[in-house]
Structure 1
Amino acid sequence: MHSPRTDKIKEFVNDLESFGQIKSVYSCFSFAASDDFLKHDIRVKPGLDGLGALGDAGWYTIQAILLVNNFKLPKTVTALSGSVLNDAGIVLSCGALFDWEDGVNATIYCSFLANLTMEITAIGTKGSLRVHDFVIPYMETEAVFTTSGGGCVSEHKVMTELSQEACMVMEFARLVGEIKNRGAKPDGFWMRFSRNTQLLVDAVKESIDNNLEPVFLSGR
């Protein structure tokens, strides 16, 4: 999210000539956690981080579908069958479907039980986007994504001198500096983005807990 690649991805999916209108998005973040992780990590403990894979890996997948959908909230959220919970009721693996008013849909998959995968696939009426390492770029100094459209496939490399973690710290320092040194008001973007991401995380968990019933977000 804090890599310079993110801005280039936003440019592409908002380009009506190259990408067109968005139709569908798929996002996955999974990794095969060790036995020790599955027994002792705070992310599998109900009194510590009770949302498990959904609150960890799922957070990134939901941010991805919001990013590609211009940060618009869906109408409904429905957990998919096949969720895996541990003995304490913590989600170790799950999937979900998100539906928007205009017919756009997205699916996510997040898991502590599957091979390392960090995928985004976004499909528009004129083009498509694919990212194979959206959570942590494989290279610190470059981040890659692929676009296609009109029968052509293009690979895009975004070069950077800093890792995305360093970029995140710099952005945080900039935001604090604007408030402290210039009397600016807090930037509302990150607050809204974080709040909406958590809203969707909670909706997936609610659907899991209620036998996969859809959760309607109107008024939330």
Structure 2
Amino acid sequence: MAVHWGILGCAGIAEKFCASVSRVENAVITGVASRTAGKAADFIAANCPGAKSYDSYEELLADTSIQAVYIPVPTALRAELAVKAAAAKKHLLVEKPIATATEAKMMIDACREAGVQFMDNTMFLHNPRQDAIKAVLNDKDLFGQIKHVNSTFSIDMGLDESWASGNIRMKKSLEPLGCLGDLGWYNARLTLWAFDYALPSAVSCTYVEHTDEGVPTHIMAQMRFGTRTASFMASFRAAFRNSAEFVGEKALVSIEDFVVSSKLDTASYKVTKTTFGAKAETFPVAILKDEELKTGVQHSNLVATFSNLVASGKVDEAWPQQTYQTQLVLDAMVKSAEQGGAWVALS
């Protein structure tokens, strides 16, 4: 039977969630709540016909027929609402970032106490391409040990004056972490995934550009894992890019679209090795593997995975732990930025 979902809020990103649910058989959206009269009904008509509209979050949470909720409200409002949802015995899929590790722990503890699943909406982790890449990273003959991860996630919307002045991502009261939270979350998560979720020993982050309120709009970050390293750039003010490289001792794995794949239901990656040409006048690049996988839609894969967990009655503690670790890294990066990019240790 399909898991019954509710949506708390009508943010634009919730439209993507509705599309994701529409493609799976084990989930259905049965309710949408908004604090603005009539907004939920309009959202339902456009995105999930047949769902019930609620005039408040509390009214939806009181409906015992709804098993899981998706929370797309701004970061600053998320923790309090998530705790209420957990208390109502709803399984939680939340947007990210979480604002602080303290708030992340508060939400996770509330879910653990209520016996419900917690997961953040990092969709690329549910793309089968990740398993294929992990197999390469673990291949000591082909790849060797991983030495460095480099990634970029940037969008150019911050160059548009109307977006920069009106979008919630630029408002300290709603999204205080700016591009570090909205985009850099994915870079940090990918790096942790590559290093099997070991926390870095230290991080450094610089807000290269920021708003008058101090919301970062272009950042550079570094991470140390003993003798192994990582770096990333996240920006609202650079050309659209969401690429990643995994540098091994013997080869390189590259992805052009690590956050959201460029094609709806396929994803690709390359494994290459660079060598010296004659007299080192050229550096020829040999393609060791160039694979395109039939993956399904990663956003829908996430919904299906989460709904399967709900239906099973079992809680997978790995997902909330990954959320918490990612937020710990971002917290340390905020601290570093406040100190002008100084290295901050994670104990």
- TM normalised by structure 2 equals 0.59
Q: Can you list the C-alpha shifts for 1:118-143, whole angstroms capped at 9, x where unaligned? A: 11111111221000001111111210
* 1:73 match: 199
* 1:9 match: 133
Gaps of 5+ in 2: 1-123, 276-285
Q: Can you list the C-alpha shifts for 1:170-197, whole angstroms capped at 9, x where unaligned? A: 1111121222xxxx2x211111111111
Gaps of 5+ in 1: none
User: Within 5 A, what are the aligned runs for 1:96-135?
Assistant: 96-101=221-226, 103-135=227-259
- 134-143 vs 32-41, which deviates more? 32-41
Matched, 1:172 2:300: no
Residue correspondences, number: 210
Matched, 1:147 2:281: no
* 1:84 match: 209
In our comparison, the structure showing a higher alpha carbon Rg is 2
Separation in 2, partners of 1:27, 1:64: 9
CA contact (8 A) 1:22 1:123 kept: yes
Structure 1 vs Structure 2 CA RMSD: 1.4
* 2:61 match: none
Matching residue's letter, 2:168: I
CA contact (8 A) 1:10 1:67 kept: no
Larger RCO: 1 or 2 (CA < 8 Å, sep 6+): 1
Percent identity at matched positions? Answer: 30
Separation in 2, partners of 1:5, 1:177: 25
CA contact (8 A) 2:265 2:298 kept: no
Separation in 2, partners of 1:88, 1:145: 39
* 1:63 match: 189
Deviation at 1:35, TM superposition (A): 2.2
